[in-house]
């Protein structure tokens, strides 16, 4: 004969945990650690932090993060004129793919970065620059030797 379990035979394997009911005698009786009167002694008293109100009164900081003025545009990779002198031959063409081939610039996850040539150092070889941003001083140095910036 098969006997099935009945409701009165079920026992709880762990103690039931009740939310602590304060101000009903025992350890947290009386005013239940809230003091006597005032806003903070009442039920449901949620007071906003005062610093938040102060920040919202200052127009510059309202609704702004720390890096609000940061540009989304990626910064250009900087290449000096002296680097071109070391890596390129006389009469060579300087372009972004050529700069990647030579090893002055690395592609990032298959994307070609912005490149800017600055006038750091000196150059003695005639080069033609195509499709690359060039500073005024670098342009002057390249054109002084007989190179071209297109």
pLDDT of residue 61: 57
Give residues with Cβ within 8 angstroms of 13, minimum separation 6.
none
* Contact indicator for 141, 118 with CB cutoff of 8 Å: no
For 7-38, write each residue's pLDDT tens digit.
999 888 888 787 777 777 767 777 877 888 88
Tell me how far apart the alpha carbons of residues 87 and 118 are, in angstroms, rounded to a whole number: 15
For CA atoms 10, 14, 18, 24, the dihedral sign is positive
Fold designation for 77-149: Ribosomal Protein L15; Chain: K; domain 2 (3.100.10)
For 61-94, write each residue's pLDDT tens digit.
566 677 777 777 888 999 999 999 999 999 999 9
β-strand pairing of 148-149 with 128-129: parallel
Percent share of the chain, pLDDT over 70: 95
Give, in degrees to the nearest 5, the angle at Cα 127 between 146 and 73.
Answer: 120
Mean pLDDT of 104-131: 93
């Amino acid at each position: 004969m098969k006997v099935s379990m009945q409701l009165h035979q079920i026992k709880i394997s762990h103690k039931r945990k009740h939310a602590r009911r304060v101000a009903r005698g025992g350890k947290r009786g009386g005013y239940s650690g809230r003091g006597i009167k005032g806003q903070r002694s009442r039920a449901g008293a949620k007071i906003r932090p005062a610093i938040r109100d102060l920040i919202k009164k200052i127009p510059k900081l309202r609704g702004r993060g720390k890096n609000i003025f940061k540009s989304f545009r990626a910064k250009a990779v900087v290449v000096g004129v002296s680097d071109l002198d070391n890596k390129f031959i006389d009469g060579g063409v300087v372009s972004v793919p050529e700069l990647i081939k030579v090893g002055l610039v690395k592609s990032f996850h298959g994307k070609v970065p912005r490149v800017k040539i600055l006038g750091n150092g000196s150059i003695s070889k005639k080069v033609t620059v195509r499709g690359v941003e060039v500073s005024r001083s670098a342009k002057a140095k390249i054109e002084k030797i007989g190179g071209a910036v297109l």
